[in-house]
Structure 1
Amino acid sequence: MAEQSTTCSSCLKLYTDPRVLPCLHTYCLKCIEGLSVDESSLTCPQCKAKHQLPTAPYPVNLFALSDVEEAKDKTGDYIEEETELICGFCTTGDAAVGYCIECGEYLCECCRDVIHKRGKMFSSHKVVSTGEAASLKRDIIPTPDNSGPHCTIHAEYKIEVYCRTCVSFVCCKCVLEHPHKEHENLLIRESIEEVAEKMGLLLEAAKSKACKAEACLSLLTKVEELALGEQHTVRMKMKAFFDELMTILEDIFRDDNKKISSAKDSIAMILSQVGSCLSLSTCIQDQIGNDRYLLLVNQLLQCLVSIEDANLTSPVKEAWHINSTSYHFKDKLNTLCNLTNFAELKKEKENATCRAATRLVPFSEVIRTDAVFDQPFASLSSEWSINCSNHPDSSPLVKGITDNKITIEFRPKHEGKYTFHLSPVGTSFIVKFDVNIVGSQGQVSKATKRSSEANNSPRISKKLRIGLDDLK
């Protein structure tokens, strides 16, 4: 018990100038100074309570001080050496060699011989040795006139009044100020019994609250255990869920990668066969009629036929419709397709141009018709621009888009040929599309008929063979 009452829980040494915080935990004065988290407050290490720094020092724990002095008397110089007294007058941390009774501080050699002996302000102070200071058993920071404790707010006034409303001791000046001015106040000497009775009631209330606090703490401990258990369960469930999800995704990714790899192998096989055919054809063309080479020529012919029949679009479509995709991924694929299809045109630095099948339609106020392509160029973009080169006042509009068809609508002014230029937004690709409009008798010029017959099926310039079907 003595060990607990004489040892500071912060520095783990005997108290030097023990002071009591508002939470009633005691520390050395220097330890309290180290607890300050800012210029106005500190936090108690034991209960974590935050306290405002007072204008005057915290009160001395006279009981702890008495126990410390008693322990020093019993053990002698050993305790004195163990406590390692340091100067409390300056901040150097030098060992103490004396003690000033008036200042209530231990002094190092410099503070004793220079400041206290030579300074006019301290010339009347009485300085004793550290051994004599231990035998004095007086308050470490006494009030200079020994007239009693002073107010922590008004240091020049003694504590003489008991505020019944606040249940606290104050000075006479506090009584004249807010909030004690409106409170019920008594002199301390007249309220001793009342204070003792009030303290007894508060102690009983504190004990009752302690029981409730222990119950609440026990409840919170159980809540914490339940929360931690539930959190662990949720973590395990989420981990199992994500593990299962990742297993499913890995299976999907594996299947998609197989599709892409299979498509690449199919195309690479055809390319390899083409290379072999080209290599063999250079030396076998002159031997076609030679009986010795008939089987080899036949083998070459069969391989060329299989190459001609090979469908390059199917493996690409298989890879195109993989499962591990998103809208962002599809956009990347569309961009890739766009760049791939028009790579040749970009190298030639020309506008990509092809022609859709010419349409022959009767005259009407509003005409809606379809531009149909052999290749699915329409899927390369969701936005197309359109204009009529020979009748710009026909107000053409794009009304619908499918894989290989674009529906347009325009308002013709008269019969004749209308040439439209359609282009995917953001590309240099252009589709020329002619619409021949005949009169009410359904007559049309021979030149127009020949043009219509010549363009009855979609065709693409040899220079611009860029679609997927051109790879066949």
Structure 2
Amino acid sequence: MASSTGDSSVLEEELTCPVCLDLYRDPHLLPCGHNFCLQCLRRLKGRSERGRLRCPECRQTHRCAAAWQKNFKLANITDGFRRRSQPERSTQSRSEPEHSRTEVQCDYCPAEGADGGKAVKTCLKCEVSMCPTHVRPHLELPAFREHPLVEPLADMSMRKCSDHDEMLRYYCVDERLFLCNACTIEGTHSGHTIKTLKNAMKDLKAFLDIQQHKTSRKLLKVERNKQEQTEIERHAKVYRDDTDQHLEAFRESSVAHLDGFLSSLRDSMSSYDAEQSLGVQQNLSRISQDQSRLQEVRSGFQRLQQQSDAFQFIKDYNSSMKRYRRLLRKPLFFPDEPAVDTEPLYETMEGKMEEFMAELRQSTSTLLNTVCEFEGADGEEEDENEDEESFDEDEDDEDDSEEEMRSEEEEEEGQILTASDDEDYTPEEEEEEDED
């Protein structure tokens, strides 16, 4: 449900006109490739100078006499989204708590105004919140091109320095503090690495890309381990099915007084199978734990990657990255290859076999050899050769695994210069590491 809500929010953002900040109505396309409502284009045309229209997105100028092409596909998508979102919005408005529906009022509109009082953007430079009507100059006029617009802020003090009462525009990487212009001038952070909020977010997202790649690789390993354990379980089931078939054939060819012996054989097989299945289920459970942990980390990274507000991103990053990296450092569970050891089963059956009459000993011995050794007595040499080949393959697999682990460690060392228990990673460490 949360994922669908997030996807709907992203789609709504893509289908929002940059001028009126509402869903497209009769969208038309400018030559530069940007879409706007037809009514918004007409208003921009009315304010144009010398017959030239400036695109609010890329600031390119176009002739007002040029014909605007309607974007029919975008119009259909917007209309369909508007129809689907109407019931969802009404349901969401009823289910949201009161504090989540707090509206920020426009600083230009009268307090009692019934129209246009709700703010849709806050300018961090002007320190004002604006409704769709009053935000248009910031979107259309070149003079406001460098003014950063964010989601409406009810309390501007969250973005201001408590010492100098100025807007927080910089980030000290060494101390992980937000700074204003006065903080950088005073020199209290002299010698520290100071970046703008946008550049700091860019560097941190680059580090998240590395962690995301590492998480994806580990998830692939977990999937491979899970498939291997599933294959082992399948072979165990085939073994059980074949054994049951041999036991059934033996029962049909034997006399009635062998039923008790067959019952004891089945009990032994069930005990053996329970031990084998228990080990496989335990391995699958631990692998599922690794998978759930890594999926949680990947979801957290994706949520951080989708954050567009630099302040909120860095705040969420600092509060959650320590936990995510701790989860990533936990080693994956690699189960040992289970060996099918039928010798205890054979000894149990052989002990019970001695209780039966002498004339049934030969047929019973044949059955045990069939159940426990499918290759037969003549295949012992082949089994030994297979064991030796399997041992050689295991050694090769271990060598390959060690080489893979070494290459992964070298790759990680080439990306980030941090110790395994380093909890204070900064983008500057990554830059120094790249230079090395």
TM (norm. structure 1) is 0.24
Q: Which has the larger radius of gyration?
A: 1
Greater relative contact order, per chain length (Cα 8 Å cut-off, separation 6+): 2
Q: Which structure features the higher share of helix residues?
A: 2
| Structure 2 length-normalised TM | 0.25
Higher strand share: 1
